[in-house]
Amino acid sequence: MEKQQAEKHIKELRERLEEYGHHYYVLDKPLVSDAEYDALMQELLKLEEEHPEFFSEDSPTVRVGGEPLPYFEKVEHRIPMLSLGNAFSDTDLRDFDRRVKQLVGGDVSYSCELKIDGLAVSLTYENGRFVRGATRGDGTVGEDITANLKTIPTIPLRLSEPVTIEVRGEAYMPKGSFEALNQVKEQAGEEKFANPRNAAAGSLRQLNPKLAAKRNLSIFVYAIGHIEGKEIDSHLKGLAYLHELGFRVNNESKHCSDIDEVIAYTEEWVEKRASLPYDIDGIVIKVDRLDQQKEMGFTAKSPRWATAFKFPAEEVVTKLIDIELSIGRTGVVTPTAILSPVTVAGTTVKRASLHNEDLIREKDLKLGDSVVIKKAGDIIPEVVNVLAELRDGSERDFKMPTHCPACESELVRLEGEVALRCINPQCPAQIREGLIHFVSRNAMNIDGLGEKVISQLFEHDLVRDVADIYKLKRDELLQLERMGEKSVDNLLEAIEKTKDNSLERLLFGLGIRFVGAKAAKTLAMEFDTIYKLKDASEEELVAVNEIGEKMAASIHRYFSTQKVVELIEELDSLGVNLVYKGPKAPEESDMTDSPFAGKTVVLTGKLEQMTRGEAKEKIESLGGKVTGSVSKKTDLVIAGEEAGSKRTKAEELNIEIWDEAKLVEVVSERR
């Protein structure tokens, strides 16, 4: 075939395969047989192999997967992918409705959608072509999994219009695909996936796109994150437009005129959920009008205009085989029920929390008992009660040990506490848990150093305290399982980067009893360096706002320990920052002429010259307090572009209102 003919035929094959694929996977209306489709795909693959100069990123052949990736790049979401608040009952839904109406100041209608149980992803298209796909990650930064997402046939590689758009969706594994995959794993002697959600996440978060292509994943797109050049005024109209573009949108979505219709919809799907060919774990309820959504805005974690109704916890009966004990980083002994495996809400459950010894006594648990378990909110398994009437005499009493199972030190119960505790500071279980806490997101946030890697380092005697993390050598790490050169280099780079963290992260990471992230920030701001904090008396600590006597005593006791003093000196010698780097708490003398001193401020509307977070930080550094809603206690409202109901309410209450230009002017004067 001549080059010109080959190019023409390749184009024709691609167009036919795109049309057939869309009808088969998205519309569920196949136009040709599977055999005919496969024959055309093989023909296209052969032609593209013979003529690589005609390769295209949006060819249907990319669905078979490419070469393995070395690692996933990080992707910052243009608009954060926030989580949703939860509702568990009709009362919760009516409370949500009441809050919505208070914020909007009138009636609203809702869109209701099935909450697909999968992996949330973001898909970006430029001029109608799929250019990037990412996981939700922490909501702000995710992982680039474009190559894996391209293997999902229900994700269009090219849209019906040349639009630039970012959409959100839920990638999932249909029940049939999940069962087939686990059959293959079982035959190969491999561990099976616990549920379709884990299978979908595991398929998309591995580095070989060819494996992802074999997993038969699918997707439902549920929202527009950003779009250029088109105005859409309601959520459901947005879904209809996404369908026109070629996306697969769930057809069970419904418009509800009031909360009673919403509740009826949730009740309907509590009964029908098991009949679906995919898993759902609730219903998502959103205010339908986008102008009302914009007016309501967001909290730090979730939109005010949406909530997720979670299905009632499913309860099942199983056997209590044993009770296992674990030691936390503070030495608390936590019992865990070991159960005969049972499926609850689509997940195989083998363990459940028992919290403490008193709960075991209260429920009269015996080894061998038949017990009722449930997953609260479809997440945490717990033992509800014992079916004592099913006992046959073979059951055995459980006795809590007198000594730590990890280090054999005597366990104690401190005054006023229900938990048993190991108070040996050299207990290996506590050390390991402390290391896991130190590297966690809210502490030092060392990327790539999770629980599994910490456990591996601990088992190979490479880390015994947090300072050892900063002494890790490349050659040592390369000897460990699943540690290639690239991953080791990335890990060492991530560790080095955290040496510059501000003091509050280190303080929280050290795991001082009673000191959470907020208290760590307060202490860092007050004392500025860890050495000043170490030398502070209990009286000086108690004098700090929000630091009580119990916390002060714990901090003083911690820094009075010689090993802690040596640890701090070692961290200092390794180049770990021990100084607070954030905004300073304002001195009272500096605040005498500050326009924000002692005032409650509300930010509303769109700011152009700074982010909300930057504005909040500047106002608080000048003695102000920033809150989320306007009330009689509000002293000042700063209104950006398109400010809505908050500005209106401020005008009604005769509250002073500034525009962004005034804010920038005042802040600039105070530098």
Q: Please report, for the domain that includes residue 347, its CATH number.
A: 2.40.50.140
CA distance 237 to 235: 5
Confidence of residue 645 (pLDDT cuts 50, 70, 90): confident
Residue 113, φ and ψ in degrees, nearest 5? -135, 150
Return the pLDDT at 584. Answer: 65
User: Same domain, yes or no, for 371 and 387?
Assistant: yes
In whole angstroms, what is the distance from residue 23 CA to residue 153 CA? 11
CATH number at residue 514: 1.10.150.20
Q: What angle do CA 244, 250, 255 make, to 5 degrees?
A: 90
Angle between helices 549-559 and 562-573 (to 10 degrees): 70
Cα–Cα dist 647/298, whole Å: 16
Q: How many CB atoms sit inside 10 A of residue 550's CB?
A: 11
User: pLDDT per residue over 147-176, tens digit each?
Assistant: 999 999 999 999 999 999 999 999 999 999
Place of tokens 């506590």: 430
Respond yes or no: is residue 115 known to be catalytic: yes
- Does 183 share its domain with 242? yes
| CATH code for the domain in which residue 263 is found | 3.30.470.30
pLDDT number for residue 587: 53
pLDDT of residue 398: 93
- Residues pairing with 120 in the sheet: 170
Q: How many other C-beta atoms can be found within 10 angstroms of the C-beta atom of residue 607?
A: 18
* pLDDT-derived band at 99, boundaries 50, 70, 90: very high
Three-state DSSP at 114 gives strand
Verify that 7 and 139 share a domain, yes or no: no
Give, as one character, the DSSP assignment of residue 192.
P
d(CA 295, CA 276): 35
Q: Is residue 106 part of a domain?
A: yes
Judge whether residue 592 has pLDDT over 60: no
What SS3 class is residue 659? strand
DSSP category for residue 314: P
**Contacts of 567 by beta carbon, 8 Å cutoff, 6+ apart:** 465, 466, 467
Same structural domain for residues 149 and 25?
A: no
User: Domain containing 329: what range?
Assistant: 315-412
Q: Phi then psi for 352, rounded to 5 degrees?
A: -150, 150
Contact predicate 629/600, CB 8 Å:
no
**16 Ramachandran zone, left/alpha/beta (phi>0; psi -120 to 50):** alpha
Q: What is the mean pLDDT of residues 289-296?
A: 92
Most confident range (mean pLDDT) of 108-112, 181-185, 383-387 is 108-112
- Does 594 score more than 90 pLDDT? no
In a domain, 178, yes or no: yes
We report the CATH number of the domain holding residue 32 as 1.10.287.610
Q: 37 and 154: one domain?
A: no
* Separation of alpha carbons 151 and 34, rounded Å: 17
Residue whose tokens read 């595991």: 202
**Distance from the first to the final alpha carbon of the chain:** 72
What's the CA gap between 540 and 547, in Å, rounded?
10
Q: What is the pLDDT of residue 1?
A: 65
Looking at the domain assignment, is residue 597 inside a domain? yes
Match 């890790």 to its residue by tokens: 472
Angle between helices 3-21 and 34-50 (to 10 degrees): 150
User: Could you tell me if 172 and 194 lie in one domain?
Assistant: yes
Domain at 632, CATH number: 3.40.50.10190
Using the predicted structure, report yes or no on whether residue 425 has a pLDDT greater than 80: no
- Highest mean pLDDT among 17-31, 437-451, 633-647 belongs to 437-451
Other beta carbons less than 10 A from residue 11's beta carbon: 13
Closest by Cα among 43, 58, 47, 74 to 127: 58
Query: What pLDDT does 589 receive?
Result: 44
Which two three-digit tokens encode residue 337? Answer: 């029920």
For residue 636, give the amino acid letter: L
Most confident of 311-325, 459-473, 640-654: 459-473
Kindly tell me the burial class for residue 584, based on how many C-beta atoms sit within 10 Å of its own C-beta (0-12, 13-18, 19 or more).
exposed
Q: Tokens at residue 374, please?
A: 């449930």
Residue scoring higher pLDDT (30 or 365) = 365
| DSSP secondary structure letters along 428-474 | HHHHHHHHHHHTSTTTT--TT--HHHHHHHHHTTS-SSHHHHTT--H
Shortest CA distance to 568 belongs to which of 514, 515, 503, 472? 503
628 in a structural domain:
yes
166 and 246 housed in the same domain: yes
Domain contains 582: no
- What span, in angstroms and rounded, lies between the C-alpha atoms of 494 and 477? 14
The residue type at 256: C
pLDDT tens digits, residue range 476-531? Answer: 999 988 889 999 999 999 999 999 999 999 999 999 988 988 889 889 988 999 99
Q: Which of 310, 344, 370 is the last residue of a domain?
A: 310
In a domain, 33, yes or no: yes
Residues 149 and 58 in one domain: no
User: Kind of pairing, strands 254-256 and 280-287?
Assistant: unpaired
- State whether 292 and 367 are in the same domain: no
Mean pLDDT of the chain, nearest integer: 88
- Are β-strands 600-604 and 636-639 bridged in parallel, bridged antiparallel, or unpaired? parallel
Closest to 466 in 3D by CA, of 502, 513, 505: 505
> End of a domain among 262, 292, 310?
310
Q: What strand order describes the sheet that includes 636-639?
A: 625-627, 600-604, 636-639, 656-659
Amino acid letter at 221?
V
How much is the average pLDDT of 559-567? 91
Q: Which of 3, 8, 74, 115 is catalytic?
A: 115
Residues 494 and 556 in one domain: no
Quote the CA–CA distance of 44 and 9 in Å, as a whole number.
9
Specify whether the backbone of 355 is left (phi greater than 0), alpha (psi in -120 to 50) or beta.
left
Residues 56 and 110 in one domain: no
Does 154 fall in a domain?
yes
Instruction: Name the one residue in this structure whose structure tokens are 């409650």.
Output: 600
Tokens found for residue 409: 């030190």
In a domain, 583, yes or no: no
Q: Are 396 and 306 in contact (CB under 8 A)?
A: no
Query: Of 310, 341, 363, which one is at a domain's C-terminal end?
Result: 310
Strands 411-412 and 421-422: antiparallel
Contact 600, 634 (CB under 8 A): yes
- Max Cα-Cα span within the chain: 89
Helix (H, G, I), strand (E, B) or coil at 196: helix
Residue 461 tokens read as 């005697």
Whether 510 and 466 have beta carbons less than 8 Å apart is answered as yes
Residue 288 confidence (pLDDT) above 90: yes
| Helix (H) or strand (E) segment spanning residue 46 | helix 34-50
Question: Do 354 and 478 fall into the same domain?
Answer: no
Query: How far is Cα 290 from Cα 234, in angstroms, rounded to an integer?
Result: 5
Q: How many domains does the chain have?
A: 6
